[in-house]
A and B are shown apart, each in its own frame.
Chain A
């Protein structure tokens, strides 16, 4: 990878970063009396370009989807390398794969559930005969689909579709980060896997599932080995916290767990972990030659859209500003 190839891309990204919604503007939106006023505040931003797509404020999701699509299209133009965008868009590809397989097995039309920002065009893929029809065009997808379908035929369990694809998603994401040779990407992927495994342990305990099931759903390639989570499954919280304190992501995990224990609300844990992901991407602000700022911008934009969704959903349901403020994530500012 030649870092000098990214000079123009980084400069263009810095310009785009200036257009990200600021903390003050988010605060204004949180305090706005209703959804109409949130749209008024948003009218000076890039989101205004999509206002024509909606006929009422309740259709805010169309604005957010259009903006996400626009960001990915723009970043594909800006980025000299495809893998940066592919790494960020991988989650959408795997989501689309889940929808595709469920659609095929259930023989139902789920076209509305595809998110068209991934690398693959699923509208085209779904027209093929699965999985063999993909042999010539997308052999990698053919292998994934064949494996998941075979597993479904054996176990007849729809949850396993998600579990298998989640595991493949983590493997693929890790491979992409390693092959990129960018330490920040590797750190990001590993932290994401740690956080996911940590959340999974707590969720499985709450769901009343057993350790065997936990072993099946935990992801590989994190900073913290899978076994450590498995051994801690029956530990009490203080012992669990003690074991995690020296890990690379331990500070975030213990912080998240403490927040969760205070309120017993998983939303607080997830917010802490999401905020820590933004902290990992912080160094990208000071990198001027390389793929990191481009990747960080995409994630910052996704975070911005997520925050807007939190505010709009909350305004739509008339939640007080204090409640909204608790949920809004840290931004890349």
Chain B
């Protein structure tokens, strides 16, 4: 931002110097923030990949068990068995601040947490044992699924924040700071020119008086 139409005064110079100082400090801070965000973002991306692989593997196993249960039980019996859940689950959502980015954090709560069998809402005569395994695995996946949701959302929000920070850093680095430096340089040159003009005028006046 080259400001050529500013008043070339000492007051303006000192105001711009102050602005330059703030801009340089802001640039350094934002650059640090961007670096830290990138570092955390890369860590989150790695975690996201691990969680997704883990979840996909566990879901595959669960579907395998469901598949076996579905193949040995008529579909009406399978659906009837799980149609009326015994357990009630609730989800608590919190906010977490990561480098100024508000990301979600979730926690699942079971109403019948003390009863290990509360996730199985059916009897034992008309259901296959694989159904127990499938349900148990599905229940075990829930925390992983929630963590993955958290991490994916955090990645998304952090990517937005990195983008915003990058724009700010670039704006400061390539527009604001060079613009201010140039304006300061122009004002300084103008002030120097004025000063030289004043000195020359004074010498001239002194010469006239001496003559």
- Which residue numbers of A lie inside 8 Å of B, CB to CB? 61, 65, 91, 94-95, 98-99, 102, 105-106, 108, 110, 112-115, 157-159, 161-163, 165-166, 169-170, 196, 199-200, 202-204, 206-209, 213, 217, 219, 266-267, 269-270, 306, 309-310, 313-314, 317, 319, 327
Contacts and interface: CB of A to CB of B under 8 A. Distances in A.
B121 A159 contact: yes
B76 A208 contact: no
Closest 9 CB pairs of A and B: A162-B123, A266-B129, A208-B116, A313-B71, A166-B125, A158-B84, A166-B123, A310-B71, A209-B117
Interface in B60-94: 67-68, 70-72, 74-77, 79-81, 83-86
A196 to B, nearest CB: 6
Given A199-B129, A267-B130, A317 B80 contact: no
A207 B80 contact: no
Nearest to B132: A203
Given A61-B75, A95-B76, A313-B71, A159 B126 contact: no
B77 A95 contact: yes
Nearest to B69: A267
Interface of B: 67-68, 70-72, 74-77, 79-81, 83-86, 116-117, 120-126, 128-130, 132-133, 136
A61 B121 CA distance: 25
Given A94-B126, A206-B133, 14 more contacts: A95-B77, A114-B76, A159-B117, A159-B122, A161-B84, A162-B81, A162-B122, A166-B123, A206-B129, A207-B116, A207-B136, A309-B74, A314-B71, A327-B71
Contact of B132 (A94, A105, A206, A213): A206
Contact of A217 (B74, B123, B130, B133): B123
30 contacts: A61-B75, A91-B126, A95-B77, A99-B76, A99-B80, A99-B83, A102-B80, A102-B84, A105-B84, A108-B83, A112-B76, A158-B84, A159-B121, A162-B81, A163-B123, A166-B126, A200-B124, A202-B129, A203-B132, A204-B117, A206-B129, A207-B132, A207-B136, A219-B125, A266-B130, A270-B72, A310-B71, A313-B71, A319-B67, A327-B71
Given A95-B76, A209-B116, A217-B124, A158 B129 contact: no
Interface of B is mostly: helix
Contacts, number: 114
B72 A306 contact: yes
Nearest to B122: A162
A115 B132 contact: no
A327 B120 CA distance: 24
Contact of A110 (B77, B80, B122, B132): B80
Nearest to A328: B71
A191 B209 CA distance: 134
A159 B80 CA distance: 12
Contacts of A219: 125
Nearest to A115: B76
Contacts of A95: 76-77, 80, 126
Nearest to A319: B67
Contacts of A319: 67
Nearest to B135: A207
Contact of A98 (B68, B80, B86, B133): B80
Given A158-B121, A169-B125, A170-B125, A313 B133 contact: no
Contacts of B71: 309-310, 313-314, 327
Nearest to B67: A317
A324 B124 CA distance: 24
Contact of A157 (B80, B81, B86): B86
Contacts of A170: 125
A316 B85 CA distance: 28
Contact of A166 (B68, B116, B120, B124): B124
Contacts of B123: 159, 162-163, 165-166, 217
Contact of B129 (A106, A203, A327): A203
Contacts of B75: 61
Contacts of A115: 74, 76-77
